[in-house]
Amino acid sequence: MRNDYDLVIVGGGMVGASLACALLPVAQELELRIAVVEAEAMPAAGEPVFQPSYDARSTALAYGIRAPFERMGIWDRLVEHLTPIEHIHVSDRGRFGVTRLDARREQVPALGYVVENHWLGQVLLSQLGQQGSPWIDFISPAQVLDLDNRADGSEVQISSEQGQRTLKAGLVVVADGGRSALREKLGIGYTQSSYEQHALVANVSLDRSHGGVAYERFTDTGPIALLPGEDLDGQARCGLVWTLPEAEVDEVLALDDAAFLRKLQDRFGYRAGRFVRVGERFHYPLKLVLAEEQVRAGLVVLGNAAHALHPIAGQGFNLAFRGVVALADLIIERRREGLPLGELHALQMFEAARRSDQYRTIQFSDRTMKMFTSEQPGLALLRDLGLVALEICPLGKTLLARAAMGLDQPAPRLR
């Protein structure tokens, strides 16, 4: 049983598994030994059959994610259950502001893609299970008991079905989610501000094809996003993210399906057609969270453990994934040069670049949400004029589209 690794990743969810998959193609060449420690049990041996679920939650992937997924060797499999976003329609309820983005105009096959989270997870874990040996060990179910992180080598104490053991690694990555127990154990503080809103998430069906259109509909109580998904049971299925004030959440959740659809129809309108079915509803409070430290000697904090933002514009996972790719590039570069992976100065340079991207993305989502929920007459007129100006300005549309697609960021190397 191996205990010495170059990299230990705590958390085998979408972020942690993505990092392992990003490093897998070069692991043999660089003799890179990786352990992924995950609290949940690994799927049973043999690839499970994927069955699209009506109630499955989905994630919007920016078009720019395609290139790194191709280099990981998983794109051809992932695309089997992706829904392309061919158009984006942005509007302001009850006002004249509207703008539209189109993939053909930007000369790309799609502005982005919608994926069910459990399909993305299955593809990532299947890749690790089939291609990871002997370079990647997936240790699950297992809990991290303690961590001593240092630039010259870290120690991770874990407990699993085989008992307690200590893993040694040049670098430890904390990617165990927004409620990161390890972040808390390490005493890493974070800033947090509540939007006093909840995101209600569900799948809904339409009486017509969604046509590959993603909608962002701003209302006086918060934005409503509608993402195109795979058809199911002969009906067009869309992912709904409905931002509600805290005071309204319980009331909307208590509605029966028919009343819920009527209320949603009233708030969203008929641009996408008529809502005819809704699945199970989930909700969670919306907060802006940012870890005060994202690197220490021998340690990096990634994904929701590092930051959480408003779901407007669907940039949460895309921001986290850019961090994954940037860290993978850094690990590969330093390994090729024979340099220690956990050296503090190198990690601080990585953090500075990530902070810049995080600041831009968080500020965009935060300011957009606040601007489009304000009912101040002057601001409401200004935002509608801005949408109209964007609609008639080809360059403005292209700049917005490139940002939405993640093409305004440095291209990943992963080699």
Q: Is residue 281 a part of any domain in this protein?
A: no
Q: Is residue 36 a part of any domain in this protein?
A: yes
Q: Is residue 331 a part of any domain in this protein?
A: yes
Per-residue pLDDT of the chain (415 residues; tens, 9 = 90+): 789 999 999 999 999 999 999 999 999 999 999 999 999 887 665 555 666 667 678 999 999 999 999 999 999 999 999 999 999 999 888 677 788 999 999 999 999 999 999 999 999 999 999 999 999 999 999 999 999 998 888 999 999 988 999 999 999 999 999 889 899 999 999 998 888 899 999 999 999 999 999 999 988 888 899 999 999 888 899 999 999 999 999 999 999 999 999 999 999 999 999 999 999 999 999 988 899 999 999 999 999 999 988 887 678 899 999 999 999 999 999 999 999 999 999 999 999 999 999 988 888 787 777 666 666 666 666 776 767 777 778 777 787 777 777 776 776 777 7
Q: Is residue 101 a part of any domain in this protein?
A: no
d(CA 411, CA 103) in angstroms, rounded, equals: 20
Q: Is residue 224 a part of any domain in this protein?
A: no
For residue 46 the two structure tokens come to: 């043999």
For residue 213, the one-letter residue type is V
State CA 237 to chain mean position distance: 21
Q: 305: domain range? A: 4-80+116-191+288-373
List Cα–Cα distances, 245 to 8, 195, 204, 258, 383, in angstroms. Answer: 40, 9, 21, 21, 21
Closest CA to 404 of 369, 345, 364: 364
Cβ atoms < 10 Å from Cβ of 148: 13
The phi and psi torsions of 404 (rounded to 5 degrees) equal -65, -35
Closest CA to 15 of 389, 305, 312: 305
Q: Is residue 105 a part of any domain in this protein?
A: no
Enumerate the β-bridge partners of residue 91. 98, 217
Q: Is residue 100 a part of any domain in this protein?
A: no
d(CA 18, CA 33) in angstroms, rounded, equals: 16
**Sequence-ordered strand ranges (E) for 163-262:** 163-174, 190-206, 213-218, 224-228, 236-245
Residue 65 maps to which CATH number?
3.50.50.60
Find tokens 């690790």 and name the residue.
128
H or E segment to which residue 35 belongs? strand 34-37
Q: Is residue 260 a part of any domain in this protein?
A: no
Number of domains in the chain: 1
H or E segment to which residue 15 belongs? helix 14-30
For residue 366, the one-letter residue type is D
Enumerate the β-bridge partners of residue 9. 36, 173
For residue 32 the two structure tokens come to: 């890179």
Q: 3-state DSSP call for residue 223?
A: coil
